[in-house]
Amino acid sequence: MVRLLRTELLKLRKSSIWLLIFVSPFLSLLVGLGETTAGLPEEEYWLTTYQWMSFPHAALFLPLLTGVFSAFVCRYEHVGGGWKQLAALPVSRGKLYLAKLLVVCLLIFYTQILLVAGLFSVGQWKEFQVAFPWETVAIGAFSGWLACLPLIALQMLVSVSWSSFAAPMAVNVIFTLPNILILNSETYGPYYPWAQPFLAMMPHTETESFRALHISMETLFIVILGSLMLFLFAGFTYFIRKEI
Amino acid sequence: MNDYIIETNGLTKKYGSTYVVNQVDLKVKKGEIYGFLGPNGAGKTTTIRMVLGLARPTKGSIHIFGKDMKKDKLSVLKKVGSLVEYPSYYGHLTAYENLEAVRILLDAPKSRIDEVLSIVRLTNDAKRPVKGFSLGMKQRLGIATALLGNPELLILDEPTNGLDPSGIIEIRELIKSMPKEHGITILVSSHLLSEMEQMATQVGIISKGKMIFQDSISTLRQRSSSKIRIKVSDTEAVSKKLLSWGYKVGSNENYIFVENTSDREIAEIIRKLVNHQCSIYRVEEEKKSLEQIFLELTGGEASL
């Protein structure tokens, strides 16, 4: 398993696609710099900036990136006949699939770290005097990452099965764009997997009985874990049985 | 069990209602260069993909090194190097990095990369991205990858496809040297009989999914029985005369054919014809080439 991951990272490092992890945090950084916090009480500076920055990032870029990264780690296998070679090597297909998934999870994780770093830089630039709300922001970024996992699992399934690069991207965009509408819906928002990264990243101000992350336990178990299990199971079964 | 390196029993692959591979019993002995021959689309690649575990057989069993591929796939694949159809590569990586990506998975020593690079003579191009390689270089890189894990069995599907003549000779010499120097068993497929003639020790010929011949190359050669054809002034009269003398001859408009004869008998026939004032223009031996046998076996649909 470790060897599979090392191979995947070697292949990834030499392609330029991993640089995309910088794009969304950078754009969010610009959003953060552009927004004004004037007129707000000083203790809300950080969280308001965080919310401004998270909006384009989590509602749009994050779901899109899951698709781009998944499609890409499969892309170079499709193009050069790599699946065939890997399948004829003494590695189990299940582990190979898992390695691909983990690499994408890792990339999204770095993206989240960079977003937090971006937020921190914005605050430094604007010379916020209050302390950085580490807990809220870290939990938000982590919840956002968690909410991306089902999307990664689905995108991986789509990317493995279609050798074209455009097809998985189309699926990705088709499901991500309605986010803008669905996010505003109290009824559908909590059940739409593509809306979860955003919902998870938003800190909840209202007092609720129990919230481990920024997600209600209900959403966590039913929507996120449920869809993750479904997509993972479908992906594994498909890939292990696939004729290469 | 026995000394077969690869042994399949009743191997069958069905796509929809067509049998792409039908009841194939492939038997490859240790140290052989087994030439797997057949016209395009006969089922060679599908058979090889099943042997490597890339595709699932509809029916039948595969044993490699005496182990069942269904159960011991990973331990078998550790000792197998392969190149299927076209070479696999990552265009954005250099030749060296391509090998490194596979080496990590095989857990082979790092020095092995330089060894295989020098075997296929790519040492000088090792640091170049593979997307700029010619097909021949990619093919050589593919063979290098197959050799990386010091395999006991090498499976090469159409390794000379798309190569220029000097590349073909190079790969052929490489393949021929392998069983001698490293004791490797090789299964190599091709649709070119002429190519196999020059390196294979055993041949299996597959056509329309069925194995129609499997034996040593010398047995295949023995099938190329020869006949003597004689051109004379008056073919019809002479052939009647020969038949009346009790010789089994055939004829067409131009020639008289004498099959399976001894030198003595031929001499006798000629002497008699000369004594009967026939003008003999030519006495020739007509040998069936392996290609003709191949065409006969595969029912003429071969692309040679």
ipTM value, please give it.
0.81
The average pLDDT across A118-138 equals 85
Angle, vertex CA A172, rays to CA A170 and CA A178, nearest 5: 105
The average pLDDT across B49-76 equals 89
Provide the pLDDT for residue A209: 39
Give residue for tokens 């295989």.
B116
The answer, yes or no, to whether residue A20 has pLDDT greater than 80, is yes
Expressed as residue numbers, the domain containing B8 is 4-79+151-222
Provide the pLDDT for residue A214: 59
Least CB–CB distance from B54: residue in A79, A241, A244: A244
Read off the pLDDT of residues A84-115 as tens digits, 9 standing for 90 and up: 999 888 989 999 999 999 999 999 999 999 99
A vs B: CB pairs below 8 A: 77
Provide the pLDDT for residue B101: 92
Contact between B104 and A7 using a beta-carbon 8 Å cutoff = yes
Residue A228 structure tokens: 């993750």
Compute the nearest-CA separation of B47 from chain A (Å).
13
The average pLDDT across B109-116 equals 92
d(CA B184, CA B174): 12
Compute the nearest-CA separation of A151 from chain B (Å).
26
Burial of B280 (0-12, 13-18, 19+ CB in 10 A): middle
Residues B159 and B44 both lie in one domain: yes
Q: In what order do the strands lie in the sheet with B256-259?
A: B249-251, B256-259, B226-232, B280-287
d(CA A31, CA A55): 10
The average pLDDT across A18-46 equals 83
- In chain B, which among 16-75 make CB contacts under 8 A with chain A? 49, 52-56, 74-75
CATH number of the domain where residue B47 is located = 3.40.50.300
Smallest Cα–Cα separation from A121: which of A106, A132, A110, A135? Answer: A132
Smallest Cα–Cα separation from A65: which of A181, A185, A145, A1? Answer: A145
- In chain A, which among 13-32 make CB contacts under 8 A with chain B? 14-15
% chain A with pLDDT above 90: 27
Contacts of B158 (CB under 8 A, 6+ apart): B44, B45, B85, B189, B190, B191
- Pick from A16-20, A44-48, B197-201, B258-262: least confident: B258-262
Highest mean pLDDT among A127-141, A159-173, A185-199, A214-228: A159-173
State CA B204 to chain mean position distance: 7
Residue B300 pLDDT class (50, 70, 90 cuts): low
Provide the pLDDT for residue A188: 74
Smallest Cα–Cα separation from B195: which of B225, B158, B223? Answer: B158
Residues B176 and B281 both lie in one domain: no
Compute the nearest-CA separation of B214 from chain A (Å).
26
Strand partners, B259: B227
Expressed as residue numbers, the domain containing A141 is 2-241
State CA B52 to chain mean position distance: 18
Provide the pLDDT for residue B303: 45
The answer, yes or no, to whether residue B73 has pLDDT greater than 60, is yes
The answer, yes or no, to whether residue A205 has pLDDT greater than 90, is no
The answer, yes or no, to whether residue B242 has pLDDT greater than 70, is yes
* Residue B124 domain flag: no
Contact between residue B31 and residue B179 where contact means Cβ atoms under 8 Å apart: yes
Contact between A10 and B104 using a beta-carbon 8 Å cutoff = yes
Provide the pLDDT for residue A127: 81
Contact between residue A143 and residue A200 where contact means Cβ atoms under 8 Å apart: yes
Contact between B105 and A86 using a beta-carbon 8 Å cutoff = yes
Least CB–CB distance from A7: residue in B80, B84, B101: B101
Domain count, chain B: 2
Residues B156 and B281 both lie in one domain: no
Strand partners, B11: B24
Domain count, chain A: 1
Residues B165 and B74 both lie in one domain: yes
* Residue B297 domain flag: no
The average pLDDT across B32-40 equals 88
Angle, vertex CA A106, rays to CA A191 and CA A163, nearest 5: 75
Residues B61 and B159 both lie in one domain: yes
- Pick from A71-85, B147-161, B282-296: least confident: B282-296
* Residue B174 domain flag: yes
Provide the pLDDT for residue B111: 92
The answer, yes or no, to whether residue B114 has pLDDT greater than 90, is yes
Rg of chain B over CA atoms, in angstroms? 25
Contact between B49 and A244 using a beta-carbon 8 Å cutoff = yes
The answer, yes or no, to whether residue A153 has pLDDT greater than 50, is yes
State CA B65 to chain mean position distance: 21
Provide the pLDDT for residue B250: 82
Smallest Cα–Cα separation from A67: which of A27, A3, A24? Answer: A24
CATH number of the domain where residue B259 is located = 3.30.70
Contact between A85 and B88 using a beta-carbon 8 Å cutoff = yes
The answer, yes or no, to whether residue B264 has pLDDT greater than 80, is yes
Domain boundary, last residue among B190, B222, B254: B222
State CA B216 to chain mean position distance: 11
The answer to whether A2 faces chain B, any CB pair under 8 Å, is: no
